[in-house]
Amino acid sequence: MSATLQPYLEAVRHTLQAALCLEQFSSQVVERHMKPEVEVRTSKELLMTPVVVARNKQERVLIEPSINSVRRDEKYFRVSISIKQSDEIERILCHKFTRFMCQRADSFFVLRRKPLPGYDISFLITASHTETMYKHKLVDFLLHFMQEIDKEISDMKLALNARARVSAEEMRLLVLLTVFTISLASEDVASTERTTFAVEGNVIFPSSANSGRKWAANSRVLLNHGEYIGFVREDGSFTVDNVASGSYVVQVENVDFVFEPIRVDITARGKIRARKLSVLQPNVVNQLPYPLKLSAREATRYFRKREEWRITDMLMNPMVLMLVIPLIIMLIIPKMTANDPQLQKEMAEMQMPKLDMPDVGEMMANLFGGAPKPKKKAVTSGQQKKNR
């Protein structure tokens, strides 16, 4: 507690004791009624003259004595006793704290919900309060409240200042970290610029594509299937920046046309060599000029072309072949044998029936038993000798 706060509180205490009239009225002793106005004028303590006890321009106490009540209002614009209540932080803290107290005025008997204009918090002490409570206890309560609210606001400001210092320290560290990160990033960019290269070239589309939609906006140049991406300009040129040294497969991605991929080799010194991509024979080197020139191979086909009727399909039909080939053989073979007598003789022997072959009609008759029995041949003497 500062040296100036104690006299201020003592002045408030004596003024409240005088305003509360610690000695009971004569009407309270006899009739328990308030004194009439004629009797009030005879007592200086009961005059309706407000008293202001001020410590400075911001801290003051207004005491409005009356016949049946005493109303006390406090003005606080400082949080710490040693610090003047002149900054914006102290004003905000005091406003928040007193508003919090006024919202809970129902829990206090003497606290008003709405303070007087120009003051932060108000207390209303009526005659019923002085009858049910000790008057010196009410005075002690008000003085204790003044001390506690001053201490509470001081603690809140100290805590706020501590949090502000911590936040400032964190912000300072964050700024330093950001500056350090930016410096590292700039160094990385500088080193990257020294060790990366650019792949350049032109994309050549068919003449029919130039009159259609914007093919350049729908095309992209991909290195290693999207590891590096470049965009095609309106004139067909492209540049893929920040490419490290190594081997890459360059291909154009377009929805309407198919392009041949090209292999590009970049050395550590920045020498770029282009060649055709051969998946089956990777060792075969077919160099291409640089900057690259990527031409469209064909239009992209998303659907299978519908088959048309052809005469060859009908001729290659298996049923047709089974009919046509024997016919051709029957027509060609007689012409071939006409010029060769020996071959013609062999064909004639093939067409003549053999004598040893049985008759089909006779076989069928024997099978069903309708034919006469064959006659036995005469046995010669030679056969009889063999039988013996």
Report yes or no on 172 lying in a domain: no
Report yes or no on 89 lying in a domain: yes
Of 273, 299, 325, which marks where a domain is finished? 299
Task: Give the mean model confidence (pLDDT) for residues 373-380.
Answer: 53
Residue 10: give its domain's CATH number. Answer: 3.30.1460.20
Cα-based distances in Å from 135 to 18, 40, 46, 81, 132:
11, 20, 16, 28, 9
Residue 34 banded pLDDT, cuts 50, 70, 90: very low
Of 266, 299, 332, which marks where a domain is finished? 299
CA separation for the pair 335, 324 (Å, rounded): 17
Domain count along the chain:
2
Report yes or no on 201 lying in a domain: yes
**76 and 145 fall within a common domain:** yes
- The least confident of 5-19, 236-250, 257-271, 310-324 is 5-19
Model's pTM, two decimal places?
Answer: 0.36
For residue 120, pLDDT beyond 60 = yes
**14 and 146 fall within a common domain:** yes
Report yes or no on 103 lying in a domain: yes
Report yes or no on 54 lying in a domain: yes
Report yes or no on 77 lying in a domain: yes
Domain enclosing residue 265, as ranges? 197-299
DSSP codes of every residue in 244-256: PSEEEEEEEE-SS
What pLDDT is recorded for position 33?
A: 46
**113 and 228 fall within a common domain:** no
**19 and 154 fall within a common domain:** yes
Cα-based distances in Å from 243 to 200, 220, 260:
11, 16, 21
- The least confident of 24-28, 233-237, 256-260, 357-361 is 24-28
pLDDT in tens, 155-165: 887 888 888 88
Report yes or no on 224 lying in a domain: yes
- The least confident of 23-37, 181-195, 264-278, 336-350 is 23-37
- Higher-confidence position of 99 and 213: 99
Of 137, 163, 189, which marks where a domain is finished? 163
Task: Give the mean model confidence (pLDDT) for residues 237-254.
Answer: 88
- Higher-confidence position of 43 and 161: 161
